[in-house]
Amino acid sequence: MKTLSIIAALVVAALLLFWPRDQFIASKSPADWAPTAANIARGAYLARAGDCASCHTSRGGALYAGGRALATPFGTLYGPNLTPDAATGLGHWSADDFWGALHNGRAPSGRYLYPAFPFPHYTKTTRADSDALYAFLRSVAPVHQPNRPHAMDFPFNTQVALAGWRLFFFRPGVFEPAPAQSAAWNRGAYLTLGLGHCSACHSSRNMFGASAAGLQGGMIPTQNWYAPALSGQEDPAQLVQLLHTGATPQGAVFGPMAEVVANSLQYLSTDDVAAMAAYLASLPASAAAAAPVTPPDEATMNAGRTLYEDHCMTCHGRDGRGRAPAYPPLAGNRTVMLPQPVNAVRIVLAGGFPPGTAGNPRPYGMPPFAHALEDSEVAQVVTYVRNSWGNQAGSVTPAQVNRYRGSGVE
């Protein structure tokens, strides 16, 4: 009995020691969140950097009024209303309440928020930037739209489960600049790790949904796309062009990243995008050894070549070099050679468009081939593309194609 009491006391002491405590940083002045033109403009820019509208605006719905569904392995969440409506939005929230949600992942009532709201990243946001965001959201048109209840599975729908998640996977803390790095590097790190919450997609997740450290790439479980590694970027100038316009002579973005460029990154200043690219270029490439690639058999390559010549060659060329930016090259295309073939498979099946941006205002689209090609044929042509013109990547199976046939785009 005495031993059990000692163990219980040690557990309680450990919880008290390691429990993530809320942090409070006061505003320097109420003027920081006053509804001035400067504060609102700054907050609007930061909201773009955080891509807030994407999760808090339903398709065809009022801006920031919430309602967009976010499917997770643990259930479905719905983005809440961020407009200043007093009954259904943030009308009664103070600047301190908003800071508590952004920095500590807590509602004004003290309720724990789901980490699908990326507070584990937003916690790095400075109080001054939080106040500017608050000023902006108070300025948008109020929309009376009740929040839709989340549909999470048990026990993930309990505050106890969220408390446990926080204990192991969350510590609040504002971004601390690295003294040895330049101002641009620190700005890029702040945007990438904080408001940009890039690792929410571009890193793997454990069985509890927590993001791994680093930007080494991983599947996006909510959308069935693979987000490639962002570390070890070899050409920052090309990355700046890709983030700002969605297309470069070497390729284009599709899927979830196209939405990020369209709604967020294209509106950032060139200096900020360049800072993000400089930060990413400074990160070491993944040290993980690449899995050995078994060359596909001759029959698969011959079948894939025939399909490619029938359906793809007109745009992408016999040599796979395409005609950028209208028709991206496939030779040397990073997306084509990702460890997971899911992106290439989904683009062949469902087609798609790069984002329309100021730097690429009329993007050419990729037509869908799901109606024209069987699973085995898609597997053959994607395998051919992944292993031609110097490309070397794994083969694709019909089962892999079937898995992603019909995947949604939400």
Report if residue 221 sits inside a domain: yes
Pair 155, 229 in one domain: no
pLDDT digits (tens, 9 = 90+) for 30-55: 999 999 999 999 999 999 999 999 99
Pair 187, 314 in one domain: no
Q: What's the pLDDT score for residue 330?
A: 95
* Closest by CA position to 327, among listed 359, 367, 356, 357: 367
Q: What's the pLDDT score for residue 408?
A: 47
Report if residue 125 sits inside a domain: yes
**Higher-confidence position of 221 and 308:** 308
Pair 101, 200 in one domain: no
Pair 102, 205 in one domain: no
CATH code, domain with 317: 1.10.760.10
333: CB partners within 8 A, 6+ apart: 250, 251, 391
pLDDT digits (tens, 9 = 90+) for 359-377: 999 999 899 999 999 999 9
Q: What's the pLDDT score for residue 251?
A: 85
Q: What's the pLDDT score for residue 109?
A: 95
Cα distance between the two ends of the chain: 54
Q: What's the pLDDT score for residue 16?
A: 41
Pair 148, 31 in one domain: yes
Report if residue 346 sits inside a domain: yes
Pair 108, 27 in one domain: yes
pLDDT digits (tens, 9 = 90+) for 107-141: 999 999 999 999 999 999 999 999 999 999 999 99
Question: Domain ends where: 254, 282, 310?
Answer: 282
Pair 207, 132 in one domain: no
Q: What's the pLDDT score for residue 379?
A: 97
Give the range of the structural domain holding residue 261, as residue numbers without chain letter.
183-282
Between β-strands 218-220 and 151-152, what pairing exists: parallel, antiparallel or unpaired? unpaired
CA distances from 57 to 94, 111, 197 (A): 22, 23, 18
Q: Using 50, 70 and 90 to split pLDDT, how confident is the model at 213?
A: confident
Question: Domain ends where: 99, 134, 169?
Answer: 169
Report if residue 165 sits inside a domain: yes
Residue 220's beta-bridge partner residues? Answer: 225
User: From the centroid of its chain, how far is CA 24?
Assistant: 27
Q: Using 50, 70 and 90 to split pLDDT, how confident is the model at 288?
A: low
Pair 307, 273 in one domain: no
Question: Domain ends where: 282, 311, 331?
Answer: 282
Report if residue 409 sits inside a domain: no
Pair 145, 27 in one domain: yes
Cis-peptide, bond into residue 73, ω within 30° of zero: no
Q: What share of the chain is helix, strand, coil (3-state, %, to 5)?
A: 40, 10, 50
CATH code, domain with 246: 1.10.760
What's the structural domain count of the chain? Answer: 3
pLDDT digits (tens, 9 = 90+) for 134-171: 999 999 999 999 999 999 999 999 999 999 999 999 99
Tracing tokens 């007109």 back to the chain, one arrives at: 314
Residues 262 and 352: their CA atoms lie apart, in Å, by 14
Tell the burial category of 287 from Cβ atoms under 10 Å away from its Cβ (0-12, 13-18, 19+).
exposed
Checking if the pLDDT of 18 tops 70, the result is no
Q: Cβ distance 96 to 33 under 8 Å?
A: no
H-assigned helices in 312-374: 313-316, 342-350
Q: What's the pLDDT score for residue 223?
A: 78
Q: Classify 352 as helix, strand or coil.
A: strand
- DSSP states of 56-125: HB-TTS-TT-B--EEEETTEEEEPPP-S--TTTSSTT--HHHHHHHHHH-B-TTSPBPPTTS-HHHHTTS
Q: Which range is least confidently modeled, 22-26, 55-59, 74-78, 342-346?
A: 22-26
**pLDDT-above-70 percentage for the chain:** 92
**Higher-confidence position of 385 and 352:** 385
pLDDT digits (tens, 9 = 90+) for 170-200: 999 999 999 999 999 999 999 999 999 999 9
Q: b or e along 95-130 (b: 16 or more beta carbons within 10 Å of the residue's beta carbon)?
A: bbbbbbbbbbbbeeeeebbbbbbbbbbbbbbebbbb
Q: Using 50, 70 and 90 to split pLDDT, how confident is the model at 20?
A: low
Report if residue 178 sits inside a domain: no
Residue 57's beta-bridge partner residues? Answer: 66
Pair 317, 400 in one domain: yes
Give me the mean pLDDT over the 64-87 stretch.
95
Residues 201 and 358: their CA atoms lie apart, in Å, by 25
Report if residue 310 sits inside a domain: yes
Q: What is the mean pLDDT of the chain?
A: 90
Pair 90, 203 in one domain: no
Pair 145, 59 in one domain: yes
Report if residue 49 sits inside a domain: yes
Q: What's the pLDDT score for residue 9?
A: 37
